[in-house]
Amino acid sequence: MLVTDFAFELPKGYVDGAGNLHRAGTMRLATAADEIYPLKDPRVQGWPAYLIVVLLSRVVTKLGGLAEVNPGVIEGLFSEDLAYLQELYNRVNGLVPRAMSVRCPHCDERHEVEVPILGES
C-alpha cells in the first residue's frame, strides 16, 4: 500500500494569534497540480521565492489544532521550521539527491558522491 501522508513534528512550532503552540502535523505527497498551480499565483509571479509558501500550504494538511493551513500560517513559521518542512517535502517526494559510495580508480579510496535527480545535470 502506498503511503501518502507523513506525520511530522516541527522543531520549534507555529504560534497562533492566541499564543497557542502547534508542532505536530501531517504532510501529504505532492501532486503535479500542487507544483503547477502555484505558478499561476500572482504572489509567486511577482516574487518567485514565495513559491515554497504556497506549495507547503497545499501539502501540509494538518498542523496542531489549526482549522486550516494557509499561506499566512506558513509565512508565520520560524525559519528553522520552514527549512524542516522544505527538507521533508523534498524527502517524501523523492527530490533529495541520492548519495552513492564509489571507489576512485586512481587512488583506490572510497568516496561518497551525490547522484543527481533524474533530469538534472
pLDDT tens-digit readout, 85-106 = 999 999 999 887 667 778 888 8
Query: What's the rounded Cα separation, in Å, for the pair 112 and 110?
Result: 7
State CA 62 to chain mean position distance.
14
Report which residue type is found at 95: L
pLDDT tens for each residue of 8-57: 999 999 999 999 999 999 999 999 999 999 999 999 999 999 999 999 99
Q: What does the domain layout of the chain look like in residue ranges? A: 5-115
Other CB atoms within 10 Å distance of the CB of residue 102: 11
Q: Cα(first)–Cα(last) distance of the chain, in Å?
A: 32
pLDDT tens for each residue of 73-82: 999 999 999 9
Query: What's the rounded Cα separation, in Å, for the pair 93 and 28?
Result: 9
